[in-house]
Structure 1
Amino acid sequence: MSKLKIAIQKSGRLKDDSLALLKQCGISVDNGRDQLKVSANNFPLEIFFLRNSDIPQYIEDGVVDLGIVGENLLYEIDSELDVLRSLNFSKCRVSIAVPKNSKFTDIKDFEGKKIATSYPNTTQKFFKSNGVNTEVHAISGSVEIAPNIGLSDAICDIVSTGNTLFNNGLKELFVIMKSQAVLVKQPKPSREVNSLIEQLNFRIGAVLRAKTSKYILMNVPNANIQKVSALLPVLKSPTVLPLAEEGWSSLHSVIDEDDFWNVIDQLKEAGAEGILVAPIEKIIE
């Protein structure tokens, strides 16, 4: 029987978030310290722990079938790998940052300046698209110290919270792109492997949908059920259960978390009472 092979980053936040996602998908993994490959206990899956920059090549060569990487990496290497879905974690942005006391304000101010970065291709594409010639210095690690030691006038790096920039006396000036973790697959999986990919992708979809949704239940006058239901369009139809008090029902549905506070007043105006909101573990569609 074939096993699905997936590559994830061998250390760091992306690794932790990837393993957490697999666990939420019901996949049990005994991840021993410093192991480069482990097998799942309850799903035909092998996990390869690789350097982030190596994952796309392993997928292209068919050594692994799937990989979890950042969108920014795929952009940097001009990858044409098939992205199955965005995973809504490890969010960051690739930005140009300069010293806080810098007088840089416009993109044209960077003409002829030195830019230190771990993403030279991304940096060059950004400035070239804006008609600006810069001197790009490709370095690995601790990019943020480059301006302080005179190596560069600015940097291009990934930014999550901005704390690292602040602590090194830098400010974010331009955002080149926003990025998050994505699931990518090899170009030509076998039929059996592709079936396993679809199974895993289905599970991931159920988990991700649940993270952005809430289970909502409320008491509603029967005459207002249709009006209230129109405010909760997530599922095909709400569940309606009669209450002991005549003329009233309990309405159960799902709502996008981002929409809840936007419609709560409308629900109350429509006659909803005793509104309860609860988290959802999975949504199977």
Structure 2
Amino acid sequence: MAVYRFLLTPRWLGILALTLVAAAVMVWLGNWQLDRYHGRTEVNERIDAGLRMAPVPMRDALSAPSGGPGTAGPAPAEEKVWTRVTVTGRYDPTNTVLVRGRTADSKVGFEVLTPLVLSDGTAVLVDRGWIPPAPGGATAQPQVPAAPSGDVTVVGRVHETESGADAVNRRDGRLETRRIGVPRLARELPYPVYGAYLLLDEQTPAADPTFVAVPVGHANNWQNFGYVVQWWLFAVMTLVGYGWAARREARRAAGIEPRPVDRAAEPTPSTPA
């Protein structure tokens, strides 16, 4: 083992320290991606479970808003997102919200949110579905199918408010936005609003067939798992590379393997006169 004494020199100790730090960072990155994989897997499982489960009363999943008009209630607990719920109320079509720039079947159009006002005066935003724009372009306001009058029973899945909420404005008398930020939308409405919205699954009376169900995409958790494997392999390769370099240096010290020739140190041959 005397041939490996060079590992105790400052140069090789520095190389070892850098190697261990690099490997530790790569292991940490792998663990971070593993946490993201587990988190996205749980989201996908909740999405699938929401499709299969029997609906429960909405108040079993969402806390009622306690503020005044124009305020939003608390956001749902993480485990309650995608829960399938049922609730009865009356649609308020005068405050329908058009969400532009939304895609279904590779086409750009609008999602239509209509407040469902409950008997206690609070409301929940219901995403009734996707409709194409009017002729004239992707931003041309569509003809929105009328909401049923009277009591309506909705079955839908709890969807948390979207991040990066965009500005809300009125165009041709209708509220319009690009992102479904419930607290921001609540400020435009004359009643307290629940802190999440519902993706409509079923409705009594039946929903207008013009609406296309809003597609729900699963999180790409396998991409994160691939990153886990990648970073952990990099960590192993870094350690293996250090071991390979140390073994090669030891073989050179023992004379088993020749050292590389420094061409710059060789004398330049003289040119015959």
Q: Which interval holds the TM-score relative to the shorter structure?
A: under 0.3
Structure ranking higher in strand proportion: 1
Specify which structure has the bigger relative contact order, considering alpha-carbon pairs within 8 angstroms and separated by 6 or more residues. Answer: 2
Q: Highest Rg: 1 or 2?
A: 2
TM-score by length of 1: 0.20
TM-score by length of 2: 0.21
